[in-house]
Amino acid sequence: MLSALLANAFFACSSGPSDTPALSAEAERGRSVYLGNCIACHNIDPAKAGGLGPEVKGSSRELLEARVVTATYPPGYTPKRPSAVMQPLPKLAGDIDALAAYLK
């Protein structure tokens, strides 16, 4: 009985997306934007810290818009780093949805 339960738990976990899940078209576009504009400082794997910037996986759309377009933070947000190295990239204002889809 117990082993049946364990086997079930095992299969439930192993069917999850352990490596890279398929990306939506929007997230795929976000990935190109990220690779083209962010990885000079952030890690190519957004879940890890990069050479200059912190990990950005899980960033909300609100945070991305504030940080990327205007180099600010949403009200009440505590930044991961106290520095202000990252320059705003206002040309990416139209790509925030895609970035959020990729980084969520």
Which residues in this chain contact ligand HEC in the complex, by CB under 6 A? 37-38, 40-42, 52-54, 56, 59, 63-64, 67-68, 79-81, 83-86, 89, 92, 99
Q: Which of 16, 75 has the CB closer to ligand HEC?
A: 75
Tell me the closest approach of the beta carbon of residue 66 to ligand HEC, in angstroms: 8
Query: Cα-Cα-Cα-Cα dihedral of 85, 70, 99, 92, to 10°?
Result: -100
55 and 47 in contact (C-beta within 8 Å)?
yes
User: Which residue is listed with tokens 């009440």?
Assistant: 76
Tell me the closest approach of the beta carbon of residue 43 to ligand HEC, in angstroms: 11
13 and 82 in contact (C-beta within 8 Å)?
no
User: Which residue is listed with tokens 């895609």?
Assistant: 98
Tell me the closest approach of the beta carbon of residue 55 to ligand HEC, in angstroms: 8
Q: Which of 20, 78 has the CB closer to ligand HEC?
A: 78
